[in-house]
Amino acid sequence: AHPVIDNGPPKKNSGRGSGGGRGGGRNAEPPPMPMSSPLMGKKKKPFLGMAAPLGYVPGLGRGATGFTTRSDIGPARDANDPVDDRHAPPGQRTVGDKMKKNQEDDEEDLNDTNYDEFNGYAGSLFSSGPYEKDDEEADAIYAALDKRMDERRKERRELREKDEIEKYRMERPKIQQQFSDLKRKLSGMSDEEWLSIPEVGDARNKRQRNPRYEKLTPVPDSFFSKHLTTGDKHTTVDPLQGVSNLNLPGGLESPYPGGMTPGLMTPGTGELDMRKIGQARNTLMDMRLSQVSDSVSGQTVVDPKGYLTDLNSMIPTHGGDISDIKKARLLLKSVRETNPHHPPAWIASARLEEVTGKLQVARNLIMKGTEMCPKSEDVWLEAARLQPGDTAKAVVAQAVRHLPGSVRIYIRAAELETDVRAKKRVLRKALENVSKSVRLWKTAVELEEPEDARIMLSRASHTTLPSLWLALARLETYENARRVLNKARENIPTDRHIWITAAKLEEANGNTQMVEKIVDRAITSLGANGVEINREQWIQDAEECDKAGSVATCQAVIRAVIGIGIEEEDCKHTWMEDAESCVSHGALECARAIYAHALQMFPSKKSVWLRAAYFEKNHGTRESLEALLQRAVAHCPKAEVLWLMGAKSKWLAEDVPAARSILALAFQANPNSEEIWLAAVKLESENNEYERARRLLAKARSSAPTARVFMKSVKLEWVLGNIEAAHELCTEALKHYEDFPKLWMMRGQIEEQSEHNEKAREAYNQGLKKCPHSMSLWLLLSRLEERVGQLTRARSILEKSRLKNPQSPDLWLESVRLEFRAGLKNIANTLMAKALQECPNSGILWAEAVFLEARPQRKTKSVDALKKCEHDPHVLLAVAKLFWSERKITKAREWFLRTVKIEPDLGDAWALFYKFEMQHGTEEQQEEVRKRCENAEPRHGELWCAESKHVLYWQKKIGEILTQVASKIKNTF
C-alpha cells in the first residue's frame, strides 16, 4: 500500500455565489494549479485547474442524464434531479430541464389551488412587501428566542458533538494520527540515520519523467509554393540598380545599399519565392564582389589619374558595351573641360575613340591636346603614334620645336624614319641638342659602322659619361684602349669602373702584375678625389670580374678592398659572411680570395681554416684542398678535424700510405687523441690490415683507454669473427666502463648471435641496471623477448621502460609495433592514441600513426601530423610514402626531396627515395639520388642502421648499403 499524499482539496472559488451576473467569465484569480500530471503530457487539457464559471450547474452543460438502480440505499433522489427514464419525453429528461421546471415552480403561485389548509400558502405571502420597523422588531424577538433556546442545552450538545467527532476520528483517523506511533520513534533517530534516508526516486520510466517539449518545425517550402499561386507580387533585386547605388561615393561604406532592401528584407507576407530569394542572394553576392574589386582597383576613389587609368584598362575589356563607352566618353569629356591642361585626359580620350574605331576623332582630339598641353611629352608621343606616316613626322618636328630636350621624342623621330641615313641624320641632330643622353649615343653608335662609331665616340669623349668611354675602349685595340682609358680617367677621375676596366684590360693582355698596381692606384686616386670606397659595390664588381673570367682582377680587387671600413674585431665575422655570399652568388674565385686573405690575417684561427677547408672540399679540387689542409695543420696542429680531413682526402684518393703518414704526423701533434686513434684504426681496418688495426687498438687501449676505444676494439673482434676475443675484451671494458650502454648492447648482441638467449638477456638486464635510460638497450631486450615468443614479457619490459623514461617516443613506438606485429590492431591503436597524448610532437609516432589508420583516413591523419610537426623528416617521409601509395608520382617525388633536404642524415628517407626512383624514375634520377646520398653520408634511420651496423656489412660503402636497404623495402602500404 502506498502512503496517501493528501493533495488537499483545492480552494473553492471564494467568489462563488457572491456578486451578480451569471456567466461572468472566469475568476480573475486562478485557483492554485494542481500537480500537473505527466500523463497528460504534451496535450494538457485547458480546463484542468480552472475554476467553474459562476453559477455553473454541473451536468447542465452537457445534458447529463442519471439513473436509479439502488433506491434501497441512500437518500431518494431529489425532486429536481433528472428522471431515471432515459427515454423520457423532452423537457423532463436532463438536469437543465429539471431546473427550468424548478424555476417555474419557484414563482409564487398564490392562487387557491396552491392553498393548503394546514400549511397555508406554499410560499411566503409577504416576501414581496417592504421590510419595516415592526418587522425588524419582530425579527429581533425571534432571534432572542432562538438564542435562548440554543443556550439551554449548549453544553450537552457540544459534548455530544465532541464525542461524535472522536468517534468519527476513530473510524477514519487522520493520516497524521495514523503515523503518530511511528513518529514517536523519530526522537531516537541519530544524525547518521537522518542523513542516510534514501532519496525518493522517480519510479516512472524515462519518457514519463521527461515530458517532451514543444517542437518547432520550419514551414515547408510546399506551403509557400501553395500560397504563391494566390498572387505573384514579389519584388526582385535589380543588379543594375544595386550597381548604380554602389557607384555613389557613399555606397562603398554601407554593405547593403538602400536600393535593395525593399526587395530583400521585406517580402510580402505569404508571397515568398525560395528560388527568387536564392537569386537575390546571388545578385547581392555579385554586387559585393564587384564592389570589393572596385575598391581594389580604386575606381570609387575620386582620383583623376587612377580613375583614368582604370577607364583605360576598362575600355578594351568591355568593348562591346555601348552604354559603358558612352558613360566613359561623357566622363572624359567632363575631365577635359574641367582641366584642359591635364595631359592624361587627352590621351585617355584619344585612346577611347581609337578603341571604338573612330580614328579620325581620336586624331583630332590628340591634336587639340597637343595645343592645350604643348609641354607634355606623352601627348606628343601619343599624337605621333596616332597619326599616319608623314603627318607623324610633322607632328614630331613640331614636338621637337616645343621640347628640344626630350630624348624620347628624338628616339621616336628616328624610329619614324625608314631610311638609315635619315635616321642617322636625326640622331646626330639630336646629339647636338642633347649631348649627355647615353641612350641617344647608344642608338646612334649602334647604327654606325665600327670605324664611324669610334670617331663618333671620340667626339663624344669630351663628355663626362663613363659608359661612353668604356664603350669606346671596348671598340679600340689594346694600345688605343689604354690611351682612351687614361684619357677617360683624366676626364672622370671619380669613376671606379674605368679603373676596373683598365685592370681587366691589362689582365686580358697578360699583364697580370699590372693588375695589382692598377687596383692599388685606383684606390688611392679615388680616395684622393674624395670618392668614398663602398665595399659592397667593389665586391660586387669583383664578382662580376670573376664571372667575366678576370680572376686576377677579381683577386686584386678583393685584396685591396676587403679590409676597408671594417672594425678590427668585426673582420673575421664580416669576411666569413662575404665569402659565403660570394659562394652563394657563384663567385668562387672571390670567395677563395677572401678566404686566402682571411687566412693570411688569422693564420692561427681554427674556424677560419675549417671554413676554408669546407669551401675547398665542396667547390675546389682535391689538390687545392690538400694543399690548404697542409698549410692548415702547419698553423693549427691541434685541430684534429683538419688532420682527419687531410687523411680522409688522401684515403679517398686511394693514397693509403700518405693517409697513414698524415695520421702519424697527427699523432705527433696530438698524442693520445681518441679521434685520431680511431681514425687510424678505421683506416687500417677498411684497408683489410686487421693486424695493424689490432695493434693500434691495443696501443690505444694502453695509452688512451676510453670507452669508445674499447667499443671499437670489441667491434673489430666481433666483425672479424673472433667471438672469444670479443667476449674477453667486452668483459674487460665493462670493468672500466660499466655505465656505457653500447658495450652492454654489444655483449648482448654477441650472445644473441651465438644463440645464447639466456646470456643475452642477462647482459641486457645487467646493462639496464647500470644505464636505465638507454632506449636502445630496452628495445633490444624487448625484441629479444618477442623473438623467443615471450610476448607478455616484452610488453611488460616496454611498460617498465616507459615508466622509467617518460615521454620517449621510441619506446612508445616499439610498444605500438609490438602489438601490431602480434596482430592486436585494436590495442595498437589505443596505445598509439596514448602515445600521441604523451608525446604530441613526436614525428616518428605521427608517421607511424598515419599508417596505422585505415586507408581512407590516412590523408586526414597525415594533415594532422603535418600540423603537429611541420618540419619533422619522418612525417614528411610518411606523406611522401602516402603519395607514393596513391601513385601521385610527382607529388611523392617533391615530398621525398623535401624530406632529404630537411634531414640529409636520415638514411631511411634516402633508401625509400631510391626505391621510389627505381620504380618510377629514370636512370638519371636514380643515379642522382644515389650520388646525393653518397655525398650526404646518412648515418641514421631505422632501416638504414639495421643494414649499416650489421656485422656482415661493416665494410660496405654508402652506395651499396643504399641499394641493399632499398631492396629490402617492400611496398606494403
Partner 1 sequence: MSYMLPHLHNGWQVDQAILSEEDRALVIRFGHDWDPTCMKMDEVLYSIAEKVKNFAVIYLVDITEVPDFNKIYELYDPCTVMFFFRNKHIMIDLGTGNNNKINWTMEDKQEMIDIVETIYRGARKGRGLVVFPKDYSTKYSY
CA nearest 281: which of 269, 264, 262? 264
Residue 2 grid cell: 502506498
For partner 1, which residue of 27, 59, 312, 756 counts as binding (CB under 8 A)? 59
Distance CA 100, CA 84 (A): 17
- x/- map, 6-45, partner 1, by CB under 8 A: xx-xx--x-----------------x--xx-xxxx----x
The residue within the footprint of partner 1, chosen from 42, 47, 197, 269 (CB under 8 A), is 47
Indicate if the alpha-carbon torsion angle 913, 916, 918, 921 is positive or negative: negative
Q: x/- string (CB under 8 A) for partner 1, residues 174-213? A: -x----------------------------x---x-----
| 19, 29, 50, 179: which one binds partner 1 (CB under 8 A) | 50
The secondary element (H helix, E strand) that includes residue 775 is helix 775-787
- Rule CB under 8 A: choose which of 27, 66, 576, 631 binds partner 1: 66
Task: Please write down the HEC assignment for all residues of 84-130.
Answer: CCCCCCCCCCCHHHHHHHHHHHHCCCCCHHHEECCCEECCCCCCCCC
Query: Distance between CA atoms of 802 and 816, rounded to whole angstroms?
Result: 12
Nearer to partner 1, 68 or 841 (CB): 68
Residue among 22, 29, 64, 736 that touches partner 1 (CB under 8 A): 64
Minimal distance, residue 68 CB to partner 1, in Å: 7
Exposure of 254 in the CB half-sphere (CA atoms within 13 A): 15
Nearer to partner 1, 210 or 261 (CB): 210
Burial of 612 per CB tally in 10 Å (0-12, 13-18, 19+): buried
Least distance (Å) from partner 1 to the CB of residue 812?
A: 54
Taking the complex as a whole, the smallest distance from the CB of residue 180 to partner 1 amounts, in Å, to 17
Which of 18, 20, 23, 78 is close enough to bind partner 1 by CB under 8 A? 78
Which CB, 208 or 524, lies closer to partner 1?
A: 208
Cβ atoms of residues 670 and 643 within 8 Å: yes
* CA nearest to 243, candidates 183, 276, 283: 283
Q: Which is nearer to partner 1, 55 or 671 (CB)?
A: 55
Residue 14 CB, shortest distance to partner 1, in Å, is: 13
Can you tell me which of 17, 23, 28, 73 binds partner 1, judged by CB under 8 A?
Answer: 73
Considering beta carbons, is residue 122 or 175 the nearer one to partner 1? 175
Site for partner 1 in 335-374 (CB under 8 A): none
Residue linked to cell 697580370: 512
Minimum CB separation from partner 1 for residue 806, in Å? 57
- Of residues 93-132, which lie at the interface with partner 1 (CB under 8 A)? 95
Smallest distance, Å, CB 12 to partner 1?
8
Nearer to partner 1, 212 or 421 (CB): 212
Q: Residue 414: which of 402, 431, 438, 435 has the closest Cα?
A: 431
Q: Is residue 540 packed enough to be buried (19+ CB in 10 Å), middle (13-18) or exposed (0-12)?
A: middle
Q: Using CA atoms, how far apart are residues 683 and 823, in angstroms rounded to an integer?
A: 46
CB of 41 to partner 1, least distance (A): 8
Residues 6 or more apart in contact with residue 475 via CB below 8 angstroms: 450, 453, 454, 457
DSSP string, 72-85: TSSPPPPTTSPPS-
Cβ neighbours of 381 (radius 10 Å): 19
- C-beta of 827: minimal distance to partner 1 in Å? 46
Q: Mutual orientation of helices 571-585 and 588-601 as an angle, nearest 10°?
A: 160
Question: Judged by CB under 8 A, does residue 265 bind partner 1?
Answer: no
Stretch 417-456: interaction string toward partner 1, x if CB under 8 A: ----------------------------------------
Residue whose CB is less far from partner 1, 54 or 598: 54
Angle at 580 (CA atoms; ends 577, 586), nearest 5 degrees: 145
Output the smallest distance, CB 203 to partner 1, in A.
9
142 binds partner 1 (CB under 8 A): no
φ, ψ at 15 (rounded to 5°):
-85, 5
Among 63-71, 436-444, 518-526, 648-656, the segment contacting partner 1 (CB under 8 A)? 63-71
Instruction: Give me the least distance between CB of 122 and partner 1, in Å please.
Output: 24
C-alpha to C-alpha distance for 506 and 515, rounded to whole angstroms: 6
- Complex with partner 1: residue 139 or 164, whichever CB lies closer: 164
For partner 1 (CB under 8 A), the number of binding residues is 50
Give the single-character DSSP code of 213.
P
Minimum distance from residue 51 beta carbon to partner 1 (Å): 7
Closest distance of CB 175 from partner 1, Å = 7
Any idea what the Cα angle at residue 444 is, between residues 504 and 383, rounded to 5°?
Answer: 135
Query: Taking CB under 8 A as the rule, does residue 48 contact partner 1?
Result: yes
Binder of partner 1 out of 14, 24, 29, 68 (CB under 8 A): 68
Q: How far is the CB of 77 from partner 1 (least distance, A)?
A: 6
Choice from 14, 15, 29, 57 touching partner 1 (CB under 8 A): 57
Q: Is 433 exposed, middle or buried (0-12, 13-18, 19+ CB in 10 A)?
A: middle
Is residue 81 at the binding interface for partner 1, with CB under 8 A as the rule? yes
Residue choice 15, 61, 262, 278 for contact with partner 1 (CB under 8 A): 61
Nearest-approach distance from CB 169 to partner 1, in angstroms? 14
- The grid coordinates of residue 424 equal 642617322
Distance of CA 856 to the CA centre of its chain: 22
Contacts of 214 (CB under 8 A, 6+ apart): 42
Instruction: Give the nearest distance from C-beta 101 to partner 1 in angstroms.
Output: 16
Member of 27, 52, 704, 889 binding partner 1 (CB under 8 A): 52
- With contacts defined by CB under 8 A, name the span among 2-10, 154-162, 340-348, 639-647 that binds partner 1: 2-10
Cα 401 to Cα 409: distance, rounded to the nearest angstrom: 11
Q: How far is the CB of 199 from partner 1 (least distance, A)?
A: 18
Residue by residue, DSSP assigns 228-293 as: HTT--------HHHHHHHHHSGGGGT-SS-GGGHHHHT-PPTT---HHHHHHHHHHHHHHHHHHHH
CB of residue 217 to partner 1, shortest distance in Å: 22
* Nearer to partner 1 (CB atom), residue 48 or residue 189: 48
Measured CA to CA, the distance from residue 942 to residue 301 in angstroms comes to 63
87 touches partner 1 (CB under 8 A): no
CB contact at 8 A, 784 and 760: yes
Of residues 797 through 816, those in contact with partner 1 by CB under 8 A are none
Contacts of residue 11, defined as CB under 8 A and 6 or more positions apart, other chains included, come to: 31, 32
DSSP secondary-structure letter at 44?
-
Among 5, 200, 219, 302, binds partner 1 (CB under 8 A): 5
Q: Of the two residues 164 and 520, which places its CB atom closer to partner 1 in the complex?
A: 164
The residue among 204 and 939 lying less far from partner 1, judged by its C-beta, is 204
**For binding to partner 1 (CB under 8 A), which residues are involved?**
1-2, 4-7, 9-10, 13, 31, 34-35, 37-40, 45, 47-53, 56-70, 73-75, 77-78, 81-82, 95, 175, 204, 208
